[in-house]
C-alpha cells in the first residue's frame, strides 16, 4: 500500500499499516463481482443523469468509461489491482483515472454499503440462473434413466433391509422429486433476492432526489427494498441460497451414498463408466466410486458455509458491519461446490450401466413379497392381522427349509391356511407385486411413466 492514498484518506494523517490493509481488503475475492459492480454502477449513473443529480454528459462519460473497464477486465487488458481495498473502490478509482472529474461524481447518493448489498444480490441472482439449468439437467438425466428402467425390478429398502419390490425407475424418480423441490426453492430465493437496495445509502438513505424504481427496473429487480437499515444489512437472501444449496447437497449426498453401495460387490446393481471411476495405487482390481464419495464429503463443506453466514450475522447490530464482508467467500465456496458436484454427477449417472439381473436376484431374496402374500389372504377375507401372522409363519418355514415363498409347496401354504390356492404363486410373483401398486406415486410402470411425464413437463417450463 506504500505510496497509494486510500479514497477515504481525507480524514487521516497517516498511511494505513500494510498488514491492516491486507487484513481489511476484500479484493482478492470480491474481484469476482466486477460485472455486477459495473452493471449496478451503470444503472446508478443513468439514474443520476436522468434526475439531474449529475450532469447528463458526465453520466454518459461514466457509462462509457465503465463499459470500457468491463471489457478491459474481461480481456485481461486491465489487471485487477490486488492492492485496492475492494472491487468497488478499484472500479471507481480506475474510472476516475480514465475520465477525470466525471468519475468522481459516480458515488453521489450512494454508499459502498448499499452498493455491496446490490452487488451481492445481483451475484446471487446470476448464480441461481446458472444453477437452475444444472439442476434441471440432472432431473432430466434421472428421467431418462428411469424411462429405460420402468420394468427393472429391485428391492426397495427400509433400515437398509429388503422391504418391498420397487423398480429402479421408481427409485430414481424419488430423487427427481427432491430436486424438483430444490428448483422451487431456488426460484423462491431468487424472487426475494431481487429486491433492490440501492438508495439505502450508508444506512439512512439520501437527501438527493433519486429514482429508486428506475434503478430497480433498469436492473431487472422485482421490487425495491422497503427500509434503508434493512436494505444495507440484510443477507437473508444469501443465507437462503446457502440453505437451499445445503438441502440440494444433502440430496446429492444421499444419492451418492446409494451409488457407492450399488457399485459394491455386495450389491453390484450398477457399474460406473471407466471415465467416471478411479483406480487404486496398490490394488489392481479396484474401481472406486470416488466422485460420489467426494460429493458426500463436499456436502459438509456447503453446510459449513451456511453455518459461517448464520454465525457471522447472528450478533450484528443494525446496520452495516464489516463482519459482513465475510459473506462472500462462504457464498462463493458453496456455489462453486454445488456446481462442480452437479457438473460431475450428471454425466456419471448418464453413463452408468444398470445391471437389472443383479437387482432382480437381490429382489428374489429377502421375502420382499411377504406383504403381498398377507394381502392375498386379506383380499380373500382373512383379517389383516391374522394374514400377517400366517405369512410370518410361512417366512419362518422358508428360512428353516432354506427356500423362498415362490418355491414353497402349496401343501405347506395350505397347512397354515385353507384359503391358499394355486393362484398364490401368481400373487407373489415380483412383477405382479410391482404392477399391482398402480396408484399415483406407486412403483407400477404405468404410475412411474405418468410421473416421468409430469416431471419432464415441469422441467420444460
Ligand atoms: N468490501 C466491503 C464488503 O464487502 C464493502 C463495504 C464497505 N463498507 C464500509 N463501510 N467499509 O462488505
Does the beta carbon of 312 sit less than 6 angstroms from any atom of ligand 1?
A: no
Looking at the DSSP assignment, which residues form a beta bridge with residue 443?
A: none
Q: Which residues of the chain have pLDDT under 50?
A: 1-3
Out of 119, 322, 326, mutate this one to test ligand 1's pocket (max ligand atoms within 8 Å of CB): namely 322
- Write the DSSP symbol of residue 223: E
For residue 21, give the 3-state DSSP assignment.
Answer: helix
Looking at residue 109, its pLDDT comes to 98
Q: What percent of the chain has pLDDT over 70?
A: 99
H or E segment at 201?
A: none
Cell of 348: 456419471
pLDDT of residue 2: 43
How many Å lie between the centroid of ligand 1 and the Cα of residue 21? 13
Burial of 340 (0-12, 13-18, 19+ CB in 10 A): middle
Of all protein residues, the one whose alpha carbon is nearest to atom 11 of ligand 1 is 322
Q: Output the nine-digit C-alpha cell for 9.
A: 484518506
Q: What single DSSP character describes residue 288?
A: B
Dihedral sign (CA 329, 344, 281, 265) = positive
Is the minimum distance from the CB of 26 to ligand 1 under 6 angstroms? yes
- DSSP letter for 234, please: -
C-alpha cell at 404: 423362498
The three-state secondary structure class of 110 is coil
In 3-state terms, what secondary structure has residue 452?
helix
Other C-beta atoms closer than 10 Å to the C-beta of 379 total 11
User: Would the CB of 391 count as within 6 Å of ligand 1?
Assistant: no
Predicted pLDDT at 4: 58
Catalytic residue among 18, 159, 200, 264: 159
Q: What is the pLDDT of residue 281?
A: 83
DSSP code of 278? Answer: B
Structure confidence at residue 1 (pLDDT): 40
Answer whether 86 contacts ligand 1 (Cβ < 6 A).
yes
pLDDT digits (tens, 9 = 90+) for 217-231: 999 999 999 999 999
Give me Rg for the CA atoms of the chain: 31
Catalytic residue among 280, 281, 417, 451: 280
Pocket test for ligand 1, best of 32, 325, 329, 332 (most atoms within 8 A of CB): 325
pTM assigned to the model: 0.94
In contact, 234 and 117? CB cutoff 8 Å: yes
* pLDDT value, residue 249: 98
| C-beta neighbour count of 265 within 10 angstroms | 5
Q: What is the pLDDT of residue 455?
A: 98
Model pLDDT, residue 9: 79
Amino acid at each position: 500500500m506504500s505510496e497509494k492514498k486510500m479514497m477515504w484518506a481525507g480524514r487521516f494523517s497517516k498511511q494505513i499499516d500494510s498488514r491492516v490493509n491486507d487484513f481489511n481488503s476484500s479484493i482478492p475475492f470480491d474481484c469476482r463481482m466486477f460485472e455486477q459492480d459495473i452493471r449496478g454502477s451503470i444503472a446508478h449513473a443513468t439514474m443520476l443523469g436522468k434526475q439531474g443529480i449529475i450532469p447528463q454528459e458526465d453520466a454518459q462519460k461514466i457509462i462509457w468509461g465503465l463499459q470500457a473497464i468491463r471489457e478491459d477486465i474481461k480481456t485481461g487488458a486491465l489487471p485487477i489491482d490486488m492492492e485496492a481495498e475492494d472491487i468497488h473502490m478499484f472500479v471507481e478509482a480506475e474510472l476516475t483515472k480514465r475520465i477525470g472529474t466525471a468519475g468522481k461524481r459516480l458515488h453521489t447518493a450512494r454508499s459502498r454499503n448499499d452498493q455491496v448489498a446490490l452487488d451481492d444480490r445481483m451475484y446471487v441472482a446470476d448464480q441461481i440462473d446458472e444453477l437452475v439449468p444444472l439442476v434441471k439437467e440432472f432431473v432430466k438425466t434421472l428421467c431418462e434413466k428411469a424411462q429405460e428402467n420402468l420394468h427393472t425390478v429391485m428391492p426397495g429398502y427400509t433400515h437398509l433391509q429388503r422391504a418391498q419390490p420397487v423398480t429402479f425407475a421408481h427409485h430414481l424418480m424419488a430423487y427427481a422429486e427432491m430436486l424438483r423441490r430444490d428448483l422451487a426453492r431456488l426460484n423462491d430465493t431468487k424472487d426475494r433476492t431481487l429486491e433492490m437496495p440501492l438508495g439505502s445509502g450508508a444506512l439512512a438513505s439520501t437527501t438527493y432526489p433519486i429514482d429508486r424504481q428506475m434503478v430497480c427496473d433498469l436492473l431487472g429487480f422485482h421490487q425495491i427494498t422497503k427500509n434503508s437499515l434493512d436494505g444495507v444489512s440484510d443477507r437473508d437472501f444469501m443465507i437462503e441460497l446457502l440453505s437451499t444449496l445445503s438441502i440440494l447437497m444433502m440430496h446429492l449426498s444421499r444419492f451418492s451414498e446409494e451409488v457407492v453401495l450399488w457399485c459394491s460387490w455386495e450389491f453390484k446393481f450398477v457399474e460406473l463408466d471407466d471415465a467416471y471411476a478411479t483406480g487404486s495405487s496398490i490394488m489392481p482390481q479396484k474401481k472406486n466410486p470416488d466422485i460420489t464419495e467426494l460429493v458426500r464429503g463436499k456436502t459438509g463443506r456447503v453446510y459449513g458455509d451456511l453455518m459461517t453466514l448464520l454465525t457471522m450475522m447472528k450478533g450484528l447490530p443494525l446496520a452495516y458491519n464489516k463482519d459482513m464482508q465475510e459473506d462472500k467467500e462462504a457464498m462463493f465456496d458453496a456455489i462453486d461446490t454445488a456446481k462442480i458436484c452437479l457438473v460431475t454427477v450428471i454425466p456419471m449417472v448418464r453413463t452408468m450401466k444398470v445391471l437389472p439381473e443383479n437387482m432382480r436376484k437381490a429382489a428374489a431374496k429377502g421375502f420382499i413379497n411377504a406383504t403381498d402374500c398377507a394381502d392375498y389372504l386379506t383380499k380373500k377375507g382373512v383379517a389383516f392381522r391374522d394374514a400377517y401372522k400366517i405369512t410370518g409363519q410361512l417366512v419362518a418355514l422358508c428360512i428353516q427349509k432354506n427356500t423362498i415363498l415362490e418355491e414353497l409347496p402349496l401343501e405347506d401354504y395350505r397347512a397354515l391356511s385353507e384359503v391358499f390356492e394355486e393362484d398364490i404363486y401368481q400373487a407373489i410373483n415380483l412383477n405382479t407385486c410391482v404392477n399391482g401398486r398402480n396408484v399415483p406415486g406407486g412403483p407400477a410402470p404405468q404410475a412411474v411413466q405418468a410421473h416421468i411425464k409430469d416431471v419432464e413437463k415441469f422441467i420444460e417450463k
